[in-house]
Amino acid sequence: MNVMRSLFLKIFLWFWATDVLIAITAALIIGLSIQNQPEIVGSRWRQTTGDALALYADSAAEVYERSGKAGLTDFINRLERTSRVHASLRDEQGNYIAGQNHAQTSDVIALAQKSDQPEFRVQETTAVGAKEVQAASGHKYIFVAEMPRRAPPPIIPFPRGLFGWERWIVSIVISGLICYGLTRYLTRPIMRLREAARRISSGDLSTRLEPRLARRHDEFGELVRDFNTMADRIESLVAAQRQLLSDISHELRSPLARMNLALELARQRSTPESTGVLDRMEREAERLNDLIGNLLTIARLDSKTPVPEATVVDLSELVHEVAADAQFEARSRNCDVKVVASDPCSVSGNADLLHSAVENVVRNAVRYTNDGTAVEIRLTCPNGSGNGSGRRAVISVRDHGPGVPESELLNVFRPFYRVEAARERKSGTVGGVGLGLAITKRALDLYDGSVVARNAPGGGLQVEITLPVVSAPVPAHV
């Protein structure tokens, strides 16, 4: 599976990218806020202090016109005691009336005379402000005040070194771990489902997903429960089919045996004219007996019953024996069977089952190869005759017949599956019932072998059998 197409990786990367993007955006917003904090605080300070300065100016002008200089002085003293504001009042021309006579305020006073808003000269620890007001009498006054100015606390406290690489790395790693855990939680049922589906497709029909996954109260839980129900149904149907196949095969043996006995009795009383008919009946009975034998073999291999003990089998000798036996059938069809290569090597398995597996492939090739051609058998073993772990012997059987459509190459190893009649018409033969290659595949599966079919260049079908090479006997499969 392509890693970049993995659902787990896609979900993980999307979660992680979203998490990192949110973190970066939040950091930038906070950073910009901190950078703009002096301007924001300064604007708010000017607005708040300006409103207070305007209120003090209106009150000072009103007190002066109502209570004179003595009342104004008392007002300014109270303002200094309560708010730590050192103030003075001047007339419209800027002449001092009462209060603290501030030095170097002419610039602020000049600005206030030209503006309706309070004007400030801000220093590091103090600020001097001036505001021109008009009293009820119509006279204008200028209120000047010196106020303490403290550095305001930050609006959003944040640790120093906001953009340090260490903090970024730690944040990204932590977010990655959180996203990994969430992604694994979401995709684990899918991975388990895929693994279970593969095991069922490989023949393990007893595979089920864990009960803890089935107890989930979400869509994954429903999917797991439906999958287990489907697996139960498939297993029961296949088991019933295998049992029916086995039972029918066993039941057919009894009438077949009685028919063979009847044939023998009929031969004892037959006339020369009936000999041909009896011979035909005997051949059909033999074909029926072979069919029943193959059915029983399929049923036994599918039922997981213990198979005969595995021993070390000389594969080269087995191939030559199969070729010699198939040669008799090939001569009757005006074709030949040749072993074009045979490397000495040994494999582990039951000799009879492996002989049947190879023989079924060769006999199938003999059945479909064209007249006057040869079925070619090639046995190759890596590194000559040496044995070693991980090496596999390959038996290649090639005929020169019509081949098989590409869409049906995977189906030729299914029981009772037969290729379309075109292959039989071209070969001029009547095929079997589709059990030989199925037996081959099941026998090879018992010993970690495999079989594949492909159309050979130049025409014909090529079937390759692979088996692991061994150097010593191994325990039998059960």
Does residue 470 surpass a pLDDT of 50?
yes
Same fold for the pair 203-305 and 311-468: no
Domains of the chain, residue spans: 3-35+164-200, 37-148, 203-305, 311-468
Among residues 154, 124, 153, the alpha carbon closest in space to that of 35 is found at 154
Q: In the prediction, which pLDDT does 317 show?
A: 92
Contact between 179 and 19 under an 8 Å Cβ cutoff? The reply is yes
Does residue 425 surpass a pLDDT of 60?
no
Among residues 147, 115, 146, 118, the alpha carbon closest in space to that of 46 is found at 118
Q: What percent of the chain has pLDDT over 70?
A: 74
The CATH architecture that domain 37-148 belongs to is: 2-Layer Sandwich (3.30)
Q: In the prediction, which pLDDT does 396 show?
A: 93
- Distance, in Å, from the CA atom of 205 to the CA atom of 211, rounded to the nearest integer, reads 17
Mean pLDDT value of segment 300-321: 77
Q: How many CB atoms lie within 10 A of CB 57?
A: 24
Higher pLDDT, 143 or 152: 143
Q: What percent of the chain has pLDDT over 90?
A: 9
Q: Give the model confidence (pLDDT) of 311-334 as tens digits.
A: 898 999 999 999 988 888 888 888
Among residues 207, 214, 196, the alpha carbon closest in space to that of 235 is found at 207
Query: Of the listed 250, 320, 355, 477, which one is catalytic?
Result: 250
Q: Alpha carbon of 151 to those of 37, 148, 315: distances in Å?
A: 12, 10, 94
Q: In the prediction, which pLDDT does 402 show?
A: 86
Contact between 447 and 349 under an 8 Å Cβ cutoff? The reply is yes
- HEC readout, 44-80: HHHHHHHHHHHHHHHHHHHHHHHHHHHHHHHHHHHHH
Mean pLDDT value of segment 339-361: 87
Higher pLDDT, 307 or 226: 226
Q: How many CB atoms lie within 10 A of CB 298?
A: 20
Structure tokens at 79: 């303002």
Structure tokens at 75: 């007002």
Higher pLDDT, 355 or 413: 355
Annotation marks residue 320 as catalytic: no
Contact between 437 and 410 under an 8 Å Cβ cutoff? The reply is no
Pick the CATH number of 203-305 from 3.30.365.10, 2.30.42.10, 1.10.150.530, 1.10.287.130: 1.10.287.130
Contact between 358 and 395 under an 8 Å Cβ cutoff? The reply is yes
Q: In the prediction, which pLDDT does 61 show?
A: 84
Q: Give the model confidence (pLDDT) of 394-412 as tens digits.
A: 999 999 988 888 888 877 8
Q: Is the pTM of this model over 0.95?
A: no
Mean pLDDT value of segment 437-464: 85
Does residue 213 surpass a pLDDT of 70?
yes
Among residues 32, 13, 33, 28, the alpha carbon closest in space to that of 168 is found at 28
Contact between 372 and 400 under an 8 Å Cβ cutoff? The reply is no
- Distance, in Å, from the CA atom of 445 to the CA atom of 345, rounded to the nearest integer, reads 19
Output the average pLDDT for the chain. Answer: 76
Q: Give the model confidence (pLDDT) of 171-195 as tens digits.
A: 777 777 777 777 777 777 788 888 8
Higher pLDDT, 280 or 58: 58
Q: How many CB atoms lie within 10 A of CB 464?
A: 17
Q: Give the model confidence (pLDDT) of 70-86 as tens digits.
A: 888 888 888 888 878 88
Among residues 90, 127, 128, 123, the alpha carbon closest in space to that of 108 is found at 128
Q: How confident is the model at residue 216 (pLDDT cuts 50, 70, 90)?
A: confident
Residue 414's H or E segment, with its range, is: none
Contact between 163 and 31 under an 8 Å Cβ cutoff? The reply is yes
Higher pLDDT, 139 or 241: 139
CATH of domain 311-468: 3.30.565.10
